[in-house]
Chain A
């Protein structure tokens, strides 16, 4: 079945890099997404990667996709306190727009 797994917590120091990992099960997913949820707010799309790509870079964000291992990661360079949030990995198993979300990783950035 469809399943997306993430670790629940990550704590880093300001200025360090953060790496948030995700595994998924549906190999037919065409796109994989990273969403950010700030406290008391809805989800905002951070970035996405097409399944035939290995890497995508967007300013401080780097997404790596290992399709063989069904592993997705989000690296945030020079992490800032404003990056503190919950980060959700999601896959799109080509079922009419449905997104399957992971449990979310709460990133805590300490000064």
Chain B
């Protein structure tokens, strides 16, 4: 089944403890992206990647890192999480960066930073 998977789905952690949220897609998509969803703000893009070893900042990149060593994986790294990073995170992928390409979303990761 074609899908985007994220792990973990739920995570409660403490300030300053490094964590990684994994994202994997099995559709051979070139474009991958991370968003955070906060009440009243919709989804905001954190980072995106047009292809392997090509990543760039979105609208809210502060406090996050990403890597794209393989086409299928696009992990999101929080080196020193803070409470303002408590949010619902979505990974998405699409065949390319063209505007008409549908983005496929993962199920989301709910992160709480105490």
Contact = CB atoms under 8 A, between A and B. Distances in A.
A42 B42 contact: no
A94 to B, nearest CB: 6
B62 interface: no
A97 interface: yes
B90 A43 contact: yes
B73 interface: no
Interface string B99-111: 1111101111000
B94 A97 contact: yes
B105 A97 contact: no
Interface string B70-114: 000000000000000000001010101111111101111000000
Given A96-B50, A98-B48, A88 B42 contact: yes
A55 interface: no
Contacts of B94: 97
Contacts of B105: 42-44
Interface of A is mostly: loop
B108 A41 contact: yes
Range of interface residues on B (Cβ < 8 Å): 20 to 34
Which of the listed residues A4, A31, A88, A97 has the most CB atoms from chain B within 10 Å of its own CB?
Answer: A97
A97 B98 contact: yes
B75 to A, nearest CB: 17
A103 interface: yes
28 contacts: A30-B99, A40-B107, A41-B107, A42-B4, A42-B106, A43-B90, A43-B92, A43-B105, A44-B105, A45-B102, A45-B103, A48-B100, A48-B102, A96-B50, A97-B33, A97-B48, A97-B96, A97-B103, A98-B33, A98-B45, A99-B43, A99-B45, A99-B103, A101-B44, A102-B42, A103-B40, A103-B41, A103-B42
